[in-house]
């Protein structure tokens, strides 16, 4: 019997990520700056999360000669969890403009703190693709787990989660799941409050992105 792979977590401690994370946490940071800084952090997190994408060799004509070069040989699928995940989408599309984008709409049941799915857009032509789930805050872990299960039911098995802040509660929950996922985050924060918000966290990422306090 093959042993199940453990869920892996990589905390990206790059100095620029940690500096910019401090600015995101600051309640005085206005929405416009918050969006820009979130995109900057996302760029660095995605570079770390995509370091094992496959390459193929191609012959390229330069202005001087021909050169053997390396080009991406993976289909990249991005799955932002609505709505806050949309704030992480554009910086990755600037890096991988041919990435395919699917969507997962989830809202939280305020009594159980579990996700309720209200929208999904997943096509079935991504066999073997590298999938990146985008969610700035992974608090209870319910939304990303639900998304990973739906993706795998649709044949998408190489799932990575990119999150700015993750709770230690969510890490433990992911470790205890049967889903094989890899998580890349800028911070694992220690607590959740009774409403399921990460402490110290940065508040509601969606509200801060879209200035909807």
Q: What domains are there in the chain, each with its CATH number?
A: 8-51+72-199 (3.40.50.2020)
Nearest Cα residue to 113 out of 160, 175, 170: 170
pLDDT (0 to 100) of residue 23 = 97
Q: Are 130 and 77 in contact (CB under 8 A)?
A: yes
Confidence of residue 196 (pLDDT cuts 50, 70, 90): confident
Q: Is the pLDDT of residue 2 over 60?
A: no
Q: What is the pLDDT averaged over residues 37-55?
A: 95
Q: What is the pLDDT averaged over residues 19-35?
A: 96
pLDDT digits (tens, 9 = 90+) for 122-146: 877 666 789 999 999 999 888 898 8
Nearest-Å Rg of the Cα atoms of the chain is 18
Q: What is the pLDDT averaged over residues 147-155?
A: 86
pLDDT (0 to 100) of residue 19 = 97
Q: Is the pLDDT of residue 185 over 60?
A: yes
- Counting every residue written for the chain, the total comes to 213
Q: Are 66 and 116 in contact (CB under 8 A)?
A: no
Decide: pTM greater than 0.85.
Answer: yes
pLDDT (0 to 100) of residue 178 = 64
């Amino acid at each position: 019997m093959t042993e199940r792979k453990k869920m892996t977590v990589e905390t990206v401690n790059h100095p620029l990520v940690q500096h910019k994370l401090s600015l995101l946490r600051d309640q005085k940071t206005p929405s416009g700056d918050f969006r820009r800084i979130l995109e900057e952090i996302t760029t660095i997190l995605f570079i770390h999360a995509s370091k094992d994408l496959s390459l193929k060799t191609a012959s390229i004509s330069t202005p001087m000669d021909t050169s053997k070069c390396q080009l991406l040989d993976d289909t990249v699928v991005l799955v932002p969890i609505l709505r806050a995940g949309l704030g992480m989408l554009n910086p990755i599309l600037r890096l991988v403009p041919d990435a395919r984008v699917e969507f997962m709409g989830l809202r939280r049941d305020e009594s159980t703190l579990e996700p309720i799915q209200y929208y999904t857009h997943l096509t079935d032509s991504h066999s073997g693709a590298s999938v990146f789930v985008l969610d700035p805050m992974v608090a209870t872990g319910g939304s990303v787990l639900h998304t990973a299960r739906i993706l795998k039911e649709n044949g998408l098995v190489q799932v990575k989660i990119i999150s700015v802040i993750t709770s230690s509660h969510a890490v433990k929950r992911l470790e205890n799941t049967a889903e094989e996922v890899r998580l890349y985050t800028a911070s694992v924060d220690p607590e959740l409050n009774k409403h399921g918000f990460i402490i110290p966290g940065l508040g509601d990422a969606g509200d801060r992105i879209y200035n909807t306090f």
